[in-house]
Homo-oligomer: A and B are copies of this chain.
Amino acid sequence: MAGPDFPRAEFESRLATIQTRMHGANLDALFFTSEAEMRYFTGFRTLFWQSPTRPWFLVVPRSGMPVAVIPEIGAELMRSAFVGEVRSWASPHPDDDGLSLLADALRPHARIGMMMGRETGLRMPLADFETLRTGLCGCEFTDATAIVQRQRMVKSEAEIALIGEICSIASKSFEAAPQLFREGQTLSDAFRAFKIELLKNGAEDVPYLVGGAGQGGYGDVISPPGENWLEAGDVLMLDTGATLRGYYCDFDRNFAIGHASADARLAHDTLWRATEAALAVARPGATCRDLFEAMAAIVGDNGGDVGRYGHGIGMQLTEPPSLAGFDETVVQPGMVITLEPGVRIGPDKIMVHEENIVIRDAEPQLLTRRAPRDVPVI
C-alpha cells in the first residue's frame, strides 16, 4: 500500500476551510458520491473507481471528521485515510447496496449539500437517490457545488508541486519528439511511443492522450488515433493528461512532419502570441473573461468553437473555472489553469496550443516548459 499523498495537515486544512464555508451556507453536512471530492477530503486514492459496480459515499459534517460509507473491499485502504469512521457493507448487494447505511449516516443532518451544478454528476443509482430524497433519511438536499468548486479551484503548494512535477515529466517527454515521431509511422504507433515515454519519465498513468495529424492541421481534437501514416507536411498534435499521485497535467504540443506550411506556421505563431497575451493579464484580480478576451483579441474571428480557451486542472483533467466570456471568476494566487487558445485554419482544420500555469501574486508561473514560437519541424 502506498503512503498518503499529503501530510495530515493538508487534510485538516481542507476540512477546516470547507466547514467554515458550510457554516456560511447554513449546511449541516456535505454528501459526496464522486471520486474527486472523496479523494480531496480524505486522501482515499484508488483506480478501483474504474469499476462502476459499487457506489462509494462520503459524509462531511459541519463539525467533526468525515464519515465514509463504502463497500467492504475498500475498507482497509479507507481506514488509512483522513476519516473519523468507516462504515462498510459487502457490495454488490441485490437490494440494499449501502443505502440504509447511508441513510443512517445522513439522518442526523437536516440540510445537506450535494454536487448538483455544472461539471458534476451523480455517481450512484438514480433510483437509490430518489428513495433517499423522498424520505428515507428525512433530510433536505441542496446544491453546494459553488462552495466546493470555489475551494478546490485554489490549490495548496503541495498540490501545485505535484502538478508542476507531472508538467515537467510531460515537457521532457515532448522534448523527445524527434526521437519518437517520424514520417511513415502510424498515428497509433506515435501515441503508443509517447505514452511509453511518459511512463519511462515518471508519469504514474496516462488517462488522457488524444490528438490528430493532417496536412497543415487536423480535423478534431478528441478522436482516438487511427492507423493513418504520418506524412511530410502533416501537423501532428498530441494533447496529454498524464498523472502523478492522481494529479493531472493537461497540455498539447504541435510538430510539423518534414516541413511546415505557411498557414501552419502562421497559426502556431498566432496561438503562441495569444498565450503571451493571456500570460500578460493573468494577475490576481483579473477575471477568467479578461484572460479569454486577451486571447480572443489575438485569435480574432478564426477561433475554434470549443466554448472556451482554458480551464482549471488538478485532480481532474478539467475543472472550473472556464476561460470563457461568461466566466467572471476572479483569478487568485494558487489557481492552476490551462491557457488553450484554438484557431481555425480552413473549413475543416484547426490548431490548438496549450500551457499550464499557476496564478501567483505578481506574474504567473509556467508549469509547462513554454512551447517555441515557431512550430518545431521533425
B-binding residues in A (CB < 8 A): 1-3, 33, 36, 45-48, 50-54, 71-74, 76-77, 90-94, 97, 114-127, 129-130, 143, 145, 188, 192, 195-196, 199-200, 204-210, 212, 219-227, 241, 305-308, 311, 316-319, 322, 324, 326-327, 348
Contact of A307 among B52, B93, B115, B318 (CB under 8 A): B93
**A220 touching B324 by the CB < 8 A rule?**
no
In the complex, besides A2-B227, A50-B241, A92-B119, 13 extra interface pairs with C-beta distance below 8 angstroms are A1-B220, A3-B227, A52-B120, A73-B220, A73-B306, A90-B305, A91-B307, A94-B327, A121-B121, A121-B125, A121-B126, A127-B143, A192-B200
* Copies per complex of this chain: 2
Q: In whole angstroms, how far apart are the Cα atoms of A311 and B77 in the complex?
A: 22
**B contact residues around A318 at 8 Å (CB):** 51-53
- Nearest-neighbour CB distance to chain B for A229, whole angstroms, equals 13
A224 to chain B, nearest CB (A): 5
- Provide a sorted-by-A list of 8 A–B residue pairs whose CB atoms are within 8 angstroms: A45-B224, A47-B222, A91-B307, A94-B118, A117-B127, A121-B122, A188-B204, A196-B199
- Say whether, besides A92-B324, A143-B127, A52 and B316 are in contact (CB < 8 Å): yes
In the assembled complex, the Cα of A322 lies from the Cα of B51 at a distance in Å of 13
Complexed CA–CA distance, A73 and B303 (Å): 13
Contact of A53 among B51, B93, B119 (CB under 8 A): B119
How distant is A314 from chain B, measured CB to nearest CB, in Å? 12
Whole-angstrom distance between the Cβ of A57 and the nearest chain B Cβ? 13
Residue from B74, B145, B207 within 8 A of A222 (CB atoms)? B74
Contact check, A76 vs B118: say whether CB atoms are below 8 A apart: no
Residues of B within 8 A of A220 (CB): 1, 73-74, 76-77
**A199 near B209 (CB under 8 angstroms)?**
no
Considering the chains assembled together, what is the distance between the CA atoms of A47 and B250 in angstroms? 13
B52 near A121: Cβ-Cβ < 8 Å: yes
**Across the interface, do A307 and B71 meet the contact criterion of CB distance under 8 Å?**
yes
A72 to chain B: closest residue by CB: B305
* A53, A208, A324 — most chain B CB neighbours (10 Å): A53
What residues of B have a CB within 8 angstroms of the CB of A311 in the complex? 53
Most buried by B among A74, A118, A317: A118
Partner of A125, one of B1, B118, B192: B118
Contact B125 A117 (CB under 8 A): yes
A48 and B210 form a contact (CB under 8 A): yes
Bound form: Cα–Cα A194–B195 in Å: 13
Nearest CB to that of A320 among chain B residues? B53
Q: Is the CB of A192 within 8 A of B199?
A: yes
B209 touches A47 (CB 8 A): yes
Expressed in whole angstroms, the minimum distance between the Cβ of A115 and any Cβ of chain B is 8
Q: Identify the interface centre among A123, A226, A317: most chain B CB within 10 Å of its CB.
A: A317
Most buried by B among A47, A77, A119, A199: A47
Inter-subunit contact A223/B77 (CB<8 Å): yes
